[in-house]
């Protein structure tokens, strides 16, 4: 693990979340400083040349070397059990950087269709223009992934749990399949974070995050991070150095503070979401609840095996007799709630609510949405840290409008 303080070699996750990555300066600061500098001064022309060439360690330019960003990367690597990490300007920048650094024209990506809408758009509309082919798998069953693999498949990409239907894929089984075909398994772990799930331990090659979500935890900053082996991260560092989708030092500092309370928050998010999901499952205005913590969820057993808890995101379909009125029912429900924040972000201390079909997955075609199982009567709630009873009362306020 990169640059881990020897005092922390046997430390627990909570200690790593607070201590890892900090390199105290001669000022003796208790809190990590924010290095808001674009460049660094060299002591000599020889030192400058050595740093630029990589022959000597040290800061060069904050597009790709910054002490605050490095502290965040090292702390994330410690929590994930990764050899190395590289931070990016957003979660989508993490996905783009991974693909651009590791793929080339003629390669093939096999991706779950149960992923964030922008991920689908990035792969199909933009990455495909550079000669990278993309196909989507509509099932969590490994056999269906096997059937769709090509000789030129270089990457398998998935979210687990997925956005917004909380579908679960058996990471260990898919990792075995990827290795059999010399492909990289990439897991977007934004819903769980390393506090609840560590895909690298399950065999994944790369794990990435929208740090904007639970890593921050209070909806303040954009950012992303990619973790894996030193060799893989070195390739990404090369791309980020040239292309520049870098994380700002201030945002890295905010994420460092978020990590200090990550496990505590994820436990609370999970407990609150489980209570609300159980209540929704028994409600007569609800046709279906999607939350992998419910025993009736089709992938509950896999989630229980590979996750420490079930996370804070759930979605549900509103019962509506007329399919033509599905969207109107969902919109009326959302417009009536008063406490939950109507925003597409998630991972916030404040509970958020959104209509996926017209927002997060609104740029997809109707055929793509149907393939992903996203109906017009679907509502996603990212449960925050409020009293769950207050959120339940707010949901009832929405149902009263129907």
Per-residue pLDDT at 226: 98
Confidence at residue 292, expressed as pLDDT on a 0 to 100 scale: 97
User: What is the assigned CATH class of domain 9-259?
Assistant: alpha beta
Whether 283 shows a pLDDT value over 70: the answer reads yes
Q: Are 250 and 89 in contact (CB under 8 A)?
A: no
Per-residue pLDDT of 148-176, as tens digits, reads 999 999 999 999 999 999 999 999 999 99
Q: How confident is the model at residue 345 (pLDDT cuts 50, 70, 90)?
A: very high
Task: State the pLDDT confidence band at 5, using cuts at 50, 70 and 90.
Answer: confident
Percent of the chain whose pLDDT exceeds 70: 99
Residue 275: is its pLDDT beyond 70? yes
Q: How many other C-beta atoms can be found within 10 angstroms of the C-beta atom of residue 20? A: 24
Q: Of 93, 88, 59, give the one whose Cα is nearest residue 73.
A: 88
Average pLDDT over residues 239-263: 97
What's phi and psi for 54, nearest 5 deg?
A: 90, 5
Q: How far apart are CA 379 and CA 330, in angstroms?
A: 7
- Taking the C-alpha atoms of residue 381 and residue 353, their distance in angstroms, rounded to an integer, is 5
Written as one string, the DSSP assignment of 291-344 is -TTSTTSTTHHHHHHH-SS--SEEEEEEP-S-GGGHHHHHHHHHHH-SSSEE-S
- pLDDT at 367 exceeding the cut of 90: no
pLDDT at 217: 97
Q: Are strands 341-342 and 352-354 parallel, antiparallel or unpaired?
A: parallel
Q: Which residue has the higher pLDDT, 89 or 361?
A: 89
Burial (CB count within 10 angstroms: exposed 0-12, middle 13-18, buried 19+), residue 86: buried
* Domain residue ranges of the chain, discontinuous segments joined by +: 9-259, 263-399
* Model confidence band, residue 373 (pLDDT cutoffs 50, 70, 90): confident
292, two tokens? 């992998």
Q: Is the pLDDT higher at 212 or at 138? A: 212
- β-sheet bridge partners, residue 110: 135, 156
Burial category of 328 from C-beta neighbours within 10 Å (exposed 0-12, middle 13-18, buried 19 and up): middle
- Angle at CA of residue 70, ends 172 and 196, nearest 5°: 30
Helix (H) or strand (E) holding 290: strand 286-290
Confidence bin at 50 (pLDDT 50/70/90): very high
Dihedral angle, C-alpha 126, 357, 270, 262, nearest 10 °: 30
Res 357 pLDDT > 70 = yes
Whose CA is closest to 82, among 21, 163, 1, 173? 1
Decide: helix, strand or coil at residue 103.
Answer: coil
Per-residue pLDDT at 1 exceeds 80:
no
Q: Exposed/middle/buried for 45, CB within 10 Å: 0-12, 13-18, 19+?
A: exposed
Average pLDDT of the chain to the nearest whole number: 94
Q: Name the band, by pLDDT with cuts 50, 70 and 90, for residue 3.
A: low
pLDDT digits (tens, 9 = 90+) for 187-235: 999 999 999 999 999 999 999 999 999 999 999 999 999 999 999 999 9
Fold of 263-399: 3.90.1150
pLDDT score of 332 more than 60: yes
Rounded Cα–Cα distance for residues 183 and 108 (Å): 10
pLDDT confidence of residue 27: 63
Q: Is the pLDDT of residue 4 over 70?
A: no
């Amino acid at each position: 693990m990169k640059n881990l303080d020897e005092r922390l070699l046997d430390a627990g996750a909570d200690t790593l979340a607070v201590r890892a990555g900090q390199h105290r300066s001669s000022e003796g600061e208790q809190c990590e400083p924010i290095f808001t500098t674009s460049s660094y001064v060299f002591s000599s022309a020889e030192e400058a040349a050595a740093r630029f060439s990589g022959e000597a360690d040290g800061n060069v330019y904050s597009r790709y070397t910054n002490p605050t960003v490095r502290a965040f990367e090292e702390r994330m690597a410690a929590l994930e059990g990764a050899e190395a990490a590289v931070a990016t300007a957003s979660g989508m920048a993490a996905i783009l950087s991974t693909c651009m650094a590791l793929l080339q024209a003629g390669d093939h990506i096999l991706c779950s269709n149960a992923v964030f809408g922008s991920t689908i758009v990035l792969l199909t509309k933009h990455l495909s223009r550079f000669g990278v082919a993309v196909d989507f798998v509509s099932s969590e069953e490994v056999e269906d992934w096997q059937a769709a693999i090509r000789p030129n498949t270089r990457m398998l990409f998935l979210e687990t749990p997925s956005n917004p239907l909380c579908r679960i894929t058996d990471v260990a089984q898919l990792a075995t399949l990827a290795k059999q075909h010399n492909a990289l398994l990439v897991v977007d772990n934004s819903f769980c974070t390393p506090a609840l799930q560590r895909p690298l331990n399950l065999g994944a090659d790369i794990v990435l995050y929208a740090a904007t979500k639970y890593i921050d935890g209070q909806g303040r900053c954009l950012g992303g991070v990619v973790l894996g082996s030193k060799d893989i991260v070195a390739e990404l560092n090369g791309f980020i150095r040239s292309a520049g989708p870098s994380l700002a030092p201030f945002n890295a500092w905010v994420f460092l503070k978020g990590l200090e309370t990550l496990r505590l928050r994820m436990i609370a998010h999970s407990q609150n979401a489980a209570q609300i999901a159980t209540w929704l499952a028994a409600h007569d205005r609800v046709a279906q609840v999607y939350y992998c913590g419910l025993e009736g969820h089709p992938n509950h057993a896999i989630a229980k095996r590979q996750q420490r808890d079930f996370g804070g995101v759930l979605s549900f379909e509103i019962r509506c007799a007329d399919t033509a009125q599905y969207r109107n029912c969902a919109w009326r429900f959302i417009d009536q709630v008063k406490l939950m924040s109507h925003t597409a972000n998630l991972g916030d201390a404040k509970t958020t609510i959104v209509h996926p079909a017209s927002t997060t997955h609104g740029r997809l075609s109707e055929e793509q949405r149907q393939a992903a199982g996203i109906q017009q009567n679907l509502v996603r709630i990212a449960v925050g840290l409020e009293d769950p009873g207050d959120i339940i009362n707010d949901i009832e306020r929405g149902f009263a409008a129907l």
